[in-house]
Chains A and B, each alone.
Chain A
Amino acid sequence: MSGHDSKYFSTTKKGEIPELKEELNSQYKDKRKDAVKKVIAAMTVGKDVSSLFTDVVNCMQTENLELKKLVYLYLINYAKSQPDLAILAVNTFVKDSQDPNPLIRALAVRTMGCIRVDKITEYLCDPLQRCLKDDDPYVRKTAAICVAKLFDINAELVEDRGFLESLKDLISDNNPMVVANAVAALAEIQENSTRPIFEITSHTLSKLLTALNECTEWGQVFILDALSRYKAADPREAENIVERVTPRLQHANCAVVLSAVKMILQQMELIASTDVVRNLCKKMAPPLVTLLSAEPEIQYVALRNINLIVQRRPTILAHEIKVFFCKYNDPIYVKMEKLEIMIKLASDRNIDQVLLEFKEYATEVDVDFVRKAVRAIGRCAIKLERAAERCISVLLELIKIKVNYVVQEAIIVIKDIFRRYPNTYESIIATLCESLDTLDEPEAKASMIWIIGEYAERIDNADELLESFLESFPEEPAQVQLQLLTATVKLFLKKPTEGPQQMIQVVLNNATVETDNPDLRDRAYIYWRLLSTDPEAAKDVVLAEKPVISDDSNQLDPSLLDELLANIATLSSVYHKPPDAFVTRVKTTASKTEDDDYPDGSEAGYSDTSAQPADGGASPPTTSSGVPYAAARQPAPAPTSTAPAASVPDLLGDLIGLDSSAIVPVDEPAAPGPTLPVVLPAATGQGLQISAQLTRRDGQIFYSMLLENNSQVALDGFMIQFNKNSFGLAAAGPLQVPPLQPGTSTRTLLPMVSFQNMSTGPTSSLLQVAVKNNQQPVWYFNDKISLHIFFAEDGRMERGNFLETWRSLPDSNEIANDFPGIVVNGVEATLDRLAASNMFFIAKRKHANQDVFYFSAKMPRGIPFLIELTTIVGTPGLKCAIKTPDPDMAPLFFEALGTLLNA
């Protein structure tokens, strides 16, 4: 029963377009239909067939439903590029929307909603109004969704024409599918609006819960998702809701199950009775486990969600750990997630079984998985005190296999175990030392050196061992050098004999004179001074007791967890990030202001560097590594080495003061300037805080930056890099920042170039910046490009010219936006402010009681912006309409305007 449509792809003769044109105008129906199919085939493979617009639209009036659908499909794709011709189709659409055949009525409305051309939108209103009240439920359910489409194009129109009320009426429709679609549409409109539109009352709630029984599976998802926002008034109501939702757990559709789980978990927060809660937990377990027999992709989604669920309600799956055992043929992403959950569910009761599994995984082929399995053993040891010994013995067995990366990973986790349980398991050090010369990864080496230093007094040949590393000191990575330095000092303090004495001199010499790394140099100086002034104090500092580390497998912050649980089944729950961390949508009725800038946007975007979006921002990396997928290895030195230093701040403060004055004589005074928004907070930047903003001065764009060093070390070698962006903004030269001493700050103006090497894709205001220095890892943060920095000084237009340009641009290029919160108080001040941003005042007129102002502005490459502002002076609310040849810029323009007027 397979078709043979592939023949339509094979027309590659010369003059294809004229030939198609001729066929489209053929008098024979079949020939016309074949021609349309060929056009669609060409469209599918990416050829531009927009020139056939009129000819295709001419085929629209047909009895043949299939042909009609094809023409409609063509329209959806090309109407935007031919807005004036698209109007030709309107008549047929309107006619079709009154066709006796409900399929055609629905088709017309559905398609019109997909054509985002303003003129068509106007004509859509009447048919839509009719279809919302159609006799046929199929038409009504299509119309319901169409309201959401229209809202996306023109929110104002939807509110003005009362579509929202009609949509709300549909919630009481007698057809369940209509109800479901109406709910979906309303929920979406609510999400994009700041006004309360779709409020769920207990009345709608019970109505919708009833509809749930009769809906299609998808309809159930829409309704459950919408209802999960409902807050029950009291435990009783919550219990009632849960009771009616629980049967959904038995549904074959995984989306229904997850949405039901979401809803139940939300309501459970209110239920006080432990019996009821326990019972619910029992009911939720089997359906969650069943999700793991679905397709691997669905399993992955389920596992990411289960990860969240067990953090809140560990009892649900406490007895089901076996189902998370990895199958040999599971895809790697499923295995990794299962492992993570196994660690979370590991307990004294099941640890033996779990360890056997981990051990098995540690002998598999995939290196990343093996490493994670080894780390998992370590994490269990840290989490479960009573099992630590067994974990260690498994690790030792693994070390004996002598697979290089297993050994290295094991040593890294054993270091963590030593920190967690000091003076308990040193007996195994001898075994560890056997693998000493196979270590080649910095982290493993550093861990081993830390162990040697920490237990120097119990290792007879500790000095020999360290000495073997010292030979290659200058070539080692910074992480290892720092650790070697500290370990040698520890050794010397513990065994102040001749050998270590010599070693310490070599090390200190190496680390102060022969290195360029200021972090290493400073630490060496501190040790040096400590040792030479007061060795006892040095002992107190270097050999101080360390704070106990804890297991990080329950890493999410409770409030973040709450938010993620409210988003079960969605992307947010898969990424483990709140929605606003990755969704960059502007609400239609609210203008975005400066404060909306999320300060820690460092993890959004940057696909090139953050290979795992799923875990980017949620979990701060810690020593025992909650970092999933070994890819994100921690570059900073282990906190063990810095912890003792931090415990005696006074002494160190003095020392640093001495030091810094010796090295850098003059501290450059920070130039005063306007306050800049913080783009990299000190908390994220390990003490480095960066505030920055794009500005325009004398026709040149600058990146105005303020760098503050709140860390303990001097920072130098600053460099900056901008990711490809929509405006091709990039640094015109290197970042010129002097070395920053602790506690100081500096300002700089970085000249920028624009429109070079622009990124493709939709125009976005996102500016991704990376800043690095010699001491810290690379910092990434996001900034916003405000469009007005591009407005050129020569953007003033003559009135005549303005009017002419306004007329020459088609109406579809006119885009309007409302700023309900903005008040224009002084006309002069506003005009001045806009003029300062190169938006030039052209004219003013009165319209009713409103003032209408006209401005012009110009982007580089000669793109003009014609701006019309309508407002009543002194009252909130401003309407802005712009006309420009490049309407894609409009949202960015409104964003910039909002910022300017709000400031």
Chain B
Amino acid sequence: MPVAASAIYFLNLRGDVLINRLYRDDVGGNMVDAFRTHIMQTKELGTCPVRQIGGCSFFYMRISNVYIVIVVSGNANVACAFKFVVEAVALFKSYFGGAFDEDAIRNNFVLIYELLDEIMDFGYPQNLSPEILKLYITQEGVRSPFSSKPSDRPVPNATLQVTGAVGWRREGLVYKKNEVFLDIVESVNLLMSSKGSVLRCDVTGKLLMKCFLSGMPDLKLGLNDKIGLEKESQLKSRPTKSGKTIELDDVTFHQCVNLTRFNSEKTVSFVPPDGEFELMKYRITEGVNLPFRVLPTIKELGRTRMEVNVKVKSVFGAKMFALGVVIKIPVPKQTAKTNFQVTSGRAKYNASIDCLVWKIRKFPGQTEPTLSAEVELISTMAEKKSWTRPPIQMEFQVPMFTASGLRVRFLKVCILILLVCHAPLSKSPSSNDFHLQVWEKSGYNTVEWVRYITKAGSYEIRC
């Protein structure tokens, strides 16, 4: 059964109900008490996100200082429920302008009630795209698109758009300057052994798009991925241009992308939503260019002293640079004193996370700064157990660099303008009132901006 929820609760960290909505009758209104006594007030909290208490099951997620709890009594679709929560939070954020927390909920409770009523019916998720909902659920509420009062921006067919095939874009958009911004954001996940061999490494990338385009444009995106290129050369029966091609392990697309077409023709074609959205996500495990290599040597000298040497090597082009590099080197809890020497950036000991934190604001390519530190430890009685070393963790951003080597080859905007005009009523009263004309407009200029950035996902080096 695809039902995702019988009830949804938003609780603060103390367990007070901030807002709730019952969608079905099969769970009691006081089920949240069970959640409070059996999960929130016990060690259970955080050990398992799906729990059964009595006849009901609870799914919960924590987002900033709010617990979102879904209660069901039947065999509900859990995947659907969690995804619904994630999307709903994204929707609320888009309405509140960024933050989602206890205060934001209290300050917008009327709006949230209204949205909760709209995005889920009887436990079945409905349309959650902010773009469409903002057409008829507005902050002021008074401006209904159908009210007899003339309003400043009439939306003639909101309901058609909620349910329409292109449920994510409204019609009749006009921009003076047609612009498309494309951001390729990659996170590198790395797990490296202390000996320097790569245990696990992958890149998860996102194509974030910001569109300001008029009408109903049909976009086509070309990447330098192997399958897409092969298919293209097959179709055009000419050999692929030389250049680096990459192999994508997996791709997932925003709902605007025509999946059937992707499957058969390997082209990414779509009618984009207006504004900002995540077009696609991909994952790559082969041929990853790691931007940094970390070479740690940690020596325990007796029971009270440690020597830490860490060398970080940047292996991207010398003209590029990384920003906001932070290297966290774990040290034992009983650290008493630390002495540093760094060849670049600044380092300090942070006792609250038991780490030496080394920050380098601007880190050029092809360099290898080092940190050497002496750590003095308090000798303790409970020394039977040797120190278990957590991995070194690293954060960074490298602009204009993709760890996967992915490049956008082209972004074509094919504009099909559907022109709707009223036919003279007198002429043919029985036939359709609308006359459809389709043509391709030639003078449709777009400006495209493409940016690349690579960030650290979980970049861990065991030591």
Contacts and interface: CB of A to CB of B under 8 A. Distances in A.
A328 interface: yes
Interface string A241-268: 0000011101111110111000000000
Contacts of A331: 46
Given A363-B388, A403-B385, A582 B260 contact: no
Interface in A190-206: 191
A402 interface: yes
A401 to B, nearest CB: 6
B50 A614 contact: yes
B368 interface: no
Best-surrounded residue of A191, A289, A356, A607 (most CB of chain B within 10 A) = A607
Contacts of B25: 116, 152
Contacts of B193: 356
Interface residues of A, number: 131
A877 interface: no
Interface stretch (B135-143, B171-179, B339-347, B411-419): B135-143
A613 B52 contact: yes
Contacts of B329: none
B48 interface: yes
A100 B255 CA distance: 31
Interface string B54-97: 11010111000000000011111111101110100000000111
A178 interface: yes
Most chain B CB within a 10 A radius of its CB, from A67, A72, A246, A328: A328
Contacts of A77: 22
A61 interface: no
B79 A3 contact: no
Contacts, number: 327
A322 B51 CA distance: 28
B262 interface: yes
B146 A607 contact: no
A225 B44 CA distance: 32
B334 interface: no
A235 to B, nearest CB: 21
Given A252-B278, A331-B46, A613-B52, A570 B77 contact: yes
A584 B73 CA distance: 8
A735 interface: no
Contacts of B158: 103
Contacts of A611: 44
A849 interface: no
B124 A2 contact: no
B234 interface: no
Contact of A64 (B142, B163, B278, B385): B142
Interface residues of B, number: 121
A554 B31 CA distance: 36
A69 B141 CA distance: 10
A746 to B, nearest CB: 32
A188 B26 CA distance: 14
A845 B51 CA distance: 51
Interface string A783-823: 00000000000000000000000000000000000000000
B159 A579 contact: no
Contact of A225 (B1, B16, B122): B1
B142 to A, nearest CB: 6
The prevalent SS among residues of B at the interface is mixed
Given A37-B110, A584-B55, A579 B79 contact: no
24 contacts: A8-B109, A44-B17, A69-B117, A103-B144, A103-B145, A136-B159, A137-B159, A146-B122, A152-B25, A218-B80, A246-B263, A297-B49, A302-B79, A325-B199, A328-B393, A357-B199, A360-B462, A572-B75, A575-B50, A584-B73, A614-B48, A760-B30, A760-B33, A762-B55
4 closest residue pairs by CB, A with B:
A66-B141, A286-B250, A138-B159, A101-B146
Given A76-B22, A252-B280, 15 more contacts: A40-B113, A46-B17, A69-B113, A184-B124, A218-B80, A221-B80, A250-B251, A250-B252, A250-B262, A259-B79, A286-B249, A574-B50, A607-B52, A761-B34, A764-B55
Interface of A: 1-6, 8-9, 37, 40-41, 44-46, 63-67, 69-70, 72-73, 76-77, 100-104, 106, 110, 113-114, 116, 136-139, 141-142, 145-146, 148-149, 152, 175-178, 181, 184, 187-188, 191, 213-214, 216-218, 221-222, 225-226, 246-248, 250-255, 257-259, 286-287, 289-290, 293, 295-298, 300-302, 322-323, 325, 327-329, 331-333, 353, 356-357, 360, 363-365, 401-403, 567, 569-575, 579, 582-585, 605, 607, 611-614, 760-762, 764, 766
Interface of B: 1-3, 16-20, 22, 24-28, 30-31, 33-34, 38, 44, 46-55, 57, 59-61, 72-80, 82-84, 86, 95-97, 99, 103-104, 106-111, 113-114, 117, 121-122, 124-128, 136, 139-142, 144-148, 158-160, 162-165, 167, 189, 191, 193, 199-200, 202, 204, 249-255, 258-260, 262-263, 278, 280-281, 283, 384-386, 388-391, 393, 458, 460, 462
